[in-house]
Amino acid sequence: MKYWVLKTREDWNRQEFKDHWDNFKDEGVIAIGWEKIDVSPDKASKDEIVAAIKKAYGRSDKSADTSATTIQKFISISPGDRVLLCQGYAPKQGKKVHLYGTAFVTGPFEDHDSEGWHWRFRHNAQIKQPFGLNGKDVLKKFLVRRLAKQSLLQTLHEISKEGFKRVIEDVGKR
């Protein structure tokens, strides 16, 4: 079993952020973007994924490589893994970080390239709200200490079991 943090907000480079917490909760999934790539990433090599990202999104080599790594990590999530769902934070961010809830992954990676679903790349999951119905705002330095992550700008991060449990226990008590 592995432990992860998944950012619910879309692309930090935009002026407006789109948050997907409600979609995750309503649909019982965890998911990532990059739906415009023309390969099935669970059947493609990293180089093929990088090329597809560059073609679909016009990303630089470095950005496409980082995105491909994230996609491959997301594919590797297994049923039974636990995921902390939050808005993410920047290294120099001063404002609080919003924690929404957790996910218990119940299904393998799916590439659903069909209409009627919000998400092409997803895992089915039981979404839980241990921080209450509205989630909780916490200080960034609290998460940095508990998760040993200076930043959660990337979409997905693997974290320790201890860090995951400490966040759930400590925030749940507040």
**Confidence (pTM):** 0.92
Cβ–Cβ < 8 Å for 5, 149:
yes
Render each residue's pLDDT in the chain as its tens digit; 174 residues: 999 999 998 764 555 668 889 999 999 999 998 988 999 999 999 999 999 999 999 999 999 999 999 999 999 999 999 999 999 888 888 889 999 999 999 999 999 876 556 778 999 999 999 998 899 999 999 999 999 999 988 899 999 999 999 999 999 766
Q: CB-based contacts of 33: which residues, under 8 Å, 6+ apart?
A: 10, 11, 121, 155
Amino acid at 123: H
Q: Which domains does the chain have, with CATH numbers?
A: 3-31+79-173 (3.10.590.10)
What does DSSP say about strands 29-32 and 97-105: parallel, antiparallel, or unpaired?
A: unpaired
What would the 3-class secondary structure string for 70-102 be? HHHHHHHCCCCCEEEEECCCCCCCCCCEEEEEE
